[in-house]
Amino acid sequence: MNLYILTKHLHLTCVVLSISLFIFRTGIRWIPIQRLQSVKILKILPHVIDTVLLCSGLYLAYLLSFPYFIMVKLFAVFLYILFGFGVMKFAKNRRQALLYFTGSMTCLLFVLGCALCKTTDITLWPQIISGRFF
Q: Are residues 86 and 57 part of one domain? A: no
**Tens of pLDDT along 41-83?**
888 898 899 899 989 999 998 988 888 888 888 889 889 989 9
Q: Which domain holds residue 83?
A: 71-134
SS (H, E, C) the chain: CCHHHHHHHHHHHHHHHHHHHHHHHHHHCCCCCHHHHCCCHHHHHHHHHHHHHHHHHHHHHHHCCCCHHHHHHHHHHHHHHHHHHHHHHHCCCHHHHHHHHHHHHHHHHHHHHHHHHCCCCCCCHHHHHHHHHC
Q: Whole-prediction pTM value?
A: 0.83
Instruction: Clarify whether residues 84 and 133 are in a common domain.
Output: yes
* pLDDT tens-digit map of 83-104: 999 998 888 888 999 999 999 9
* 57 plus 6 within the same structural domain: yes
For the residues 106-111, what does the mean pLDDT come to?
A: 92
Q: Which parts of 35-133 are beta strand (E)?
A: none
Report the C-alpha gap between 38 and 55 in whole angstroms: 28
* Domain count across the chain: 2
pLDDT of residue 133: 61
